[in-house]
Amino acid sequence: MADKKLTVAKTGNEAMAEAMRQINPDVVAAYPITPATEIAQIFAGFVADGLVDTEFVTVESEHSAMSATIGAAAAGGRCMTATSSQGLMLMAEMLPIASSLRLPIVMPEVNRTISAPINIHCDHSDTMFVRDSGWMQVYCEDAQEAYDSILMGIKIAEKISLPMMVSTDGFIISHCMANIDLIPDEDVKEYIGKYNPKTWLLNPEKKITVGCLDLQDYYFEHKMVAIDAMRRAKGVIKECCKEFGARFGREYSFFDTYKIEDADIAILAMGSLTGTAKVAVDNMRRAGKKVGLIKMRVFRPFPADELARVVSGLKALAIMDRSDAMSGLEGPLAVETKAALYNNDTKPKIHSYVYGLGGRDVQISELESIYNDMDDLSRAKKKFDENVTYLGVRE
Amino acid sequence: MGNLTEIRWHGRGGQGAKTAALLFGEAAMSLGQHIQAFPEYGPERMGAPVQSFNRISQEPITLHCGVTNPDIVVVLDPTLIATVDVFQGLDKGDTIIINTEKAPGNIAEELKIKDKGIKVYTVDASGISKDEIGRDIPNTPMLGALVKVYGKLNIEHVLADMGKKLEKKFRNKPEIIDGNLKAIKRAYEEVKS
């Protein structure tokens, strides 16, 4: 592929819009919201310039954006939309309908906190709010990963017939220009192939009903089909990540690890923080500390067994959540990772952190002190009064 | 990460601090560097103090935290110095480039930073902009000054890359393209320490 390598400078939003152009969806219905607005805006430019064949529907709200996307997907189209924060909140009613109808919609999402107070900056509260909506969720470190994940997402979603949201950290990635390697249009076209839905509304040969009433006698069985699909999605994701890696040279997984092989201490995190954490790992390693990083990418389906295997050999683990579920427990990544470890014979000491709400910056030095705290925790030199620390919050 | 350079731009809303960071990033990328370019998002009002940032390295950049200790600061508007701490995070050996008619020595004295070991460069970017573009848009000349001070990018390559970018944007206004390119080149030549 080296001879075809096309390196460009793009922001996260530009990279996601570029992936959409190459996918050339049948229908895109979208409504603007900061910081995801540019995705649909740039894509609308592609439509106006005749670079795609997409039917672009300008709707009056995100609820309608998701509704129109669901309708078009049920009719047999390859359909996309994009949103963020309050927009995702407004879509919430429609999201489980997309997943239970088994519609392979792929949606770029830009992580922004949710109101109140009003704030346009990054945390993962928005996508975590809909983590139980039956959508697969992928959290990306940077623009390159977002671009790749959207292309892979089309393949995964259509194979397993479930929708997927692919998110970047608002402003930190969505508005940061960086080098990314694009895949040539014709290679993308060949890779994603033509979408052939098994059933669709506008097929006179095989008539179906979509979204009908389904009460006590069969609802459970029909819901079970969707539940089962999410359980099987892991296999499809694994296979698609491998294939993407073989074709294009960038291989991903449920989570990526950094210097974890001989590590005693690790941080588990998602999104852009993981890039900064790599630098912290390098600094700590130079100081002789055996530390590593686990970058969680796929949060839904949750790769419990795989994660349990990777962390079981660690002495201490810091779990970093960029959202708080206001559950009185810890952040969602911490709660689910601990659940995944319940059946493990060996498990590390764990402390969790909620960080960066509303876009609060986290510097390398803060991550280094977390590694040092975990080191102390592993040697019983430190005790925490609570299971979770709210990083850098003033009292 | 040893060769990582972090740059902070100070301007006022409308002066093109964001555009300058993006253009500089793109130019550096086209010359084989790994880059980041991002603005600080806050009050996006015309005239309000704004910042934008670059990271440049020969190696891939994974840092996504804010830039707190820049190596180079670029000040598009000298009136900002009275209200914004443009020196924040600058240490001994770091560099500041200021758009002003004044000589570096004079401004260093005026700002009482002579003993801090910060390298001060000045260039009359506003004057150059008025001469070459016909308006006070100091961002492109300051970009030329930055290319000189940064020292690792070939100015002819930068001008060629910039020409292509501007051509796309100002297809129907060739005088703007020429004016900007001349302004970049002049500031590159006229910036002084």
Q: What are the residue ranges spanned by the domains of chain A?
A: 2-248, 255-390
CA A271 vs. chain centroid, Å, equals: 8
Q: Give B152→chain A minimum CA distance, Å.
A: 18
Query: pTM to 2 decimals?
Result: 0.96
> Per-residue pLDDT averaged across B75-80, rounded?
95
Q: Output the pLDDT for position B166.
A: 87
Partner residues linked to B94 by β-bridges = none
pLDDT band, very low/low/confident/very high, at B175 (cuts 50, 70, 90): confident
Which residues on B lie below 8 Å from A281 (Cβ)? none
Backbone angles phi, psi at A314, to 5 degrees: -80, 155
CA distance A37 to A82: 8
pLDDT band, very low/low/confident/very high, at B2 (cuts 50, 70, 90): low
Where do we find the tokens 């500390």? A289
In total, the C-beta contacts within 8 angstroms joining chain A to chain B are 67
Tell which residue, A102, A52, A62, has the closest CA to residue A82: A62
Query: Would you state the structure tokens that stand for residue A199, as one six-digit string?
Result: 């059933």
Q: Output the pLDDT for position A288.
A: 97
Which residues on B lie below 8 Å from A9 (Cβ)? 22, 25-26, 29-30, 35, 37
Asked, colleague to colleague, whether A2-248 and A255-390 share their fold, the answer is: yes
Which residues on B lie below 8 Å from A362 (Cβ)? 65
| Number of independent structural domains in chain B | 1
**Per-residue model confidence as pLDDT tens digits over B66-75:** 999 999 999 9
DSSP B147: H
- Asked if A363 has any chain B CB less than 8 Å from its own CB, the reply is yes
Q: Is the pLDDT of residue A7 over 70?
A: yes
Alpha carbon separation from A254 to A138, A178, A240, A304 (Å, rounded): 9, 24, 11, 10
Is there a contact between B38 and A362 if contact means CB atoms under 8 Å apart?
no
List, in order, residues 6 or more apart from A206 with CB less than 8 Å away: A199
Is there a contact between A362 and B62 if contact means CB atoms under 8 Å apart?
no
Which residues on B lie below 8 Å from A35 (Cβ)? 41
Which residues on A lie below 8 Å from B22 (Cβ)? 9, 177
Is there a contact between B25 and A7 if contact means CB atoms under 8 Å apart?
no
Q: Give B6→chain A minimum CA distance, Å.
A: 14
Lowest mean pLDDT among A79-88, A246-255, A291-300, B170-179: B170-179
Is there a contact between B64 and A177 if contact means CB atoms under 8 Å apart?
no
State which residues form the domain around B117: 5-190
> Per-residue pLDDT averaged across A221-229, rounded?
97
Tell which residue, A246, A66, A89, A93, has the closest CA to residue A163: A66
**Per-residue model confidence as pLDDT tens digits over A316-336:** 999 999 999 999 999 999 999
List, in order, residues 6 or more apart from A377 with CB less than 8 Å away: A316, A349, A351, A383, A384
What is the CATH topology of the domain spanning A255-390?
Rossmann fold (3.40.50)
CATH label of the domain that carries residue B141: 3.40.920.10
Average pLDDT, chain A: 97
pLDDT band, very low/low/confident/very high, at A4 (cuts 50, 70, 90): low
Q: What is the CATH number of domain A2-248?
A: 3.40.50.970
Query: Would you state the structure tokens that stand for residue B136, as one six-digit string?
Result: 């006070």
What is the interface pTM, i.e. ipTM, of the complex? 0.93
Q: Output the pLDDT for position B190.
A: 97
A70 neighbors A98 (Cβ within 8 angstroms): yes
3-state SS string for chain A: CHHHCEEEEECHHHHHHHHHHHHCCCEEEECCCCCCHHHHHHHHHHHHCCCCCCEEEECCCHHHHHHHHHHHHHCCCCEECCEEHHHHHHHCCCHHHHHHCCCCCEEEEEECCCCCCCCCCCCCHHHHHCCCCCCEEEECCCHHHHHHHHHHHHHHHHHHCCCEEEEEECCCCCCCEEEEEECCHHHHHHHHCCCCCCCCCCCCCCCCCCCCCCCCCCHHHHHHHHHHHHHHHHHHHHHHHHHHHHHHCCCCCCEEEECCCCCCEEEEEECCHHHHHHHHHHHHHHCCCCEEEEEECEEECCCHHHHHHHHCCCCEEEEEECCCCCCCCCCHHHHHHHHHCCCCCCCCEEEEEECCHHHCCCCHHHHHHHHHHHHHHHCCCCCCCCCEEECCCCC
**Per-residue model confidence as pLDDT tens digits over A157-182:** 999 999 999 999 999 999 999 999 99
> Per-residue pLDDT averaged across A36-61, rounded?
98
Q: Which residue of B has its CA nearest to A356?
A: B65
Share above pLDDT 90 across residues of chain A, in percent, rounded to a whole number: 98
pLDDT band, very low/low/confident/very high, at A2 (cuts 50, 70, 90): very low
> Per-residue pLDDT averaged across B106-124, rounded?
92
